[in-house]
């Protein structure tokens, strides 16, 4: 095997794609800053017990582990940034009120989370801590949509659900966690026959409610249907009302509901959303409310947010046209050289890209598509059309 062959699902990012990704990164961070979000930069690696505290088995299996050569302790390379941001909110900032935090950096996965995915996503996310009301849910959703609109991605479809619906149906059902897991899997697969077999000994209300969830997906009419066929409870009524309220404030995107969708069930504590666009193999954005995320750090703050992989986003976002540059000759010594350097510095100070052509490379391909040149004219260096 060649020494320069990279591991599976790991790839170099070459200039054109890197420029595209960087432009998207800046647009996302600028959009978040426009909402009042502050940027944080957690470390790529931490002591393993800190990095994985309270995250569950799934993230543990996705985390690369290594031994710290200084302390001999086990360390981990982060597979998700949200637990780190929760730690920052709980222990370093320790604010009493609302904290709006965003981040952008690489994460590493031991395995790709789906076919053809990278094991080194560039994760961007935004999180609101300290507000229990649905206003924070809405702000996170609107920011996620505005981030995608800023990167000129569309049309957009928002898929919404609320984990409290399934939890309300399972409340008081005397089964163990393994059985609950099988019920979740059947709901996720919309396997009505398997679900019927698994719930045959459940109380009638729970059994019929869970079976009804298999077909409760579609537009806003699903919410009205759910109110008719699902057993009423305060948690269920609140969840349905919250979904209706959130959907009513969203413009410029198609809204759908899948009340039996349990992705992230163990993580989310309330409403959750996924955002899709044509051309993407899966959801571009995953987000929602996860009020328990800070509990393991001794400060159980209300939290809601979302994240996305900028590399996935780059695959569906239209590339920006390359800003044309200016070609400049190479002049060796003398007053012309000093004046040329001053002219180049002035142009770069104005935000122009000036590419100096090194001696002997005048005929090489111009990767910056220069449409002007810096040339001597009338005793002065002037920018002229090529």
CA angle 224, 228, 232 (to 5 degrees): 110
The two structure tokens encoding residue 369: 């598509």
Binding residues for L-histidine: 80-82, 123, 127, 263, 267-268
Packing angle of the helix pair 234-248, 163-170 (nearest 10 deg) = 170
Please tell me the predicted confidence (pLDDT) of residue 383: 94
Q: What would the two tokens of residue 47 be?
A: 């002591």
Q: How many whole angstroms separate alpha carbon 348 and alpha carbon 346?
A: 6
- The ranges of the chain with pLDDT < 50 are none
Q: Which residues are annotated as a binding site?
A: 80-82, 123, 127, 263, 267-268
Q: Do you know the residue count of the chain?
A: 386
pLDDT digits (tens, 9 = 90+) for 55-105: 667 788 999 999 999 999 999 999 999 989 998 998 888 888 999 999 999
The pTM of this model reads 0.90
Q: Give dist(CA 373, CA 370) in Å, integer.
A: 7
State residue 301's pLDDT score: 85
What does the H/E/C string look like for 68-116?
Answer: CCCCCCEEEECCCCHHHHHHHHHHHHCCCCCEEEEEEEECCCCCCCCCC
The model's pLDDT over 94-111, given as tens digits with 9 standing for 90+, comes to 888 999 999 999 999 999
The Cα diameter of the chain in Å comes to 94
Q: Hey, how many other C-beta atoms are within 10 angstroms of the C-beta on 195?
A: 22
Position 264 scores a pLDDT of: 67
- Taken in order of first residue, the domains within the chain and their CATH numbers are 1-153+283-320 (3.30.930.10), 157-276 (3.30.930.10), 325-385 (no CATH)
Do the beta carbons of residue 325 and residue 355 sit within 8 Å?
A: yes
């Amino acid at each position: 095997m060649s020494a320069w062959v990279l591991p599976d699902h790991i790839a170099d990012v070459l200039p054109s794609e890197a420029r595209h990704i960087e432009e998207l990164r800046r647009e996302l961070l600028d959009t978040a800053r426009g909402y009042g979000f502050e940027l944080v930069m957690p470390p790529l690696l931490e002591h393993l017990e800190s990095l994985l505290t309270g995250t569950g088995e799934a993230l543990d299996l996705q985390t690369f582990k290594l031994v710290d050569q200084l302390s001999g302790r086990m360390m981990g390379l982060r597979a998700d940034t949200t637990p780190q941001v929760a730690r920052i909110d709980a222990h370093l900032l320790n604010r009493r009120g609302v904290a709006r935090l965003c981040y952008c950096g690489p994460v590493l996965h031991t395995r790709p989370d789906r076919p053809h995915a990278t094991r080194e996503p560039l994760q961007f996310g935004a999180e609101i801590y300290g507000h229990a009301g649905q206003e924070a849910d809405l702000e996170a959703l609107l920011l996620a949509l505005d981030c995608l609109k800023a990167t000129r991605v569309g049309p957009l479809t928002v898929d919404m659900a609320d984990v409290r619906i399934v939890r309300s149906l399972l409340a008081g059902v005397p089964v163990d966690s393994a059985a609950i897991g099988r019920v979740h899997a059947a709901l996720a697969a919309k396997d009505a026959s398997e679900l019927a077999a698994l719930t045959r000994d459940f109380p009638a209300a729970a059994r019929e409610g869970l079976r009804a969830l298999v077909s409760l997906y579609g537009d806003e009419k699903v919410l009205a249907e759910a109110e008719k066929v699902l057993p009423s409870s305060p948690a269920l009524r609140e969840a349905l009302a919250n979904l209706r309220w959130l959907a009513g404030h969203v413009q410029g995107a198609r809204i759908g509901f899948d009340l039996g969708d349990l992705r992230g069930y163990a993580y989310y504590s309330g409403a959750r959303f996924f955002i899709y666009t044509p051309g993407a193999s899966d959801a571009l954005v995953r987000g929602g409310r996860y009020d328990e995320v800070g509990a393991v750090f001794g400060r159980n703050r209300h939290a809601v947010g979302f994240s996305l992989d900028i590399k996935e986003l780059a695959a569906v976002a239209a590339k920006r046209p390359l800003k044309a540059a200016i070609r400049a000759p190479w002049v060796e010594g003398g007053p012309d050289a000093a004046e040329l350097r001053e002219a180049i510095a002035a142009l770069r100070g104005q935000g122009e890209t000036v590419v100096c052509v090194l001696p002997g490379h005048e005929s090489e391909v111009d990767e910056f598509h220069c449409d002007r040149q810096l040339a001597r004219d009338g005793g002065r260096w002037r920018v002229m059309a090529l």
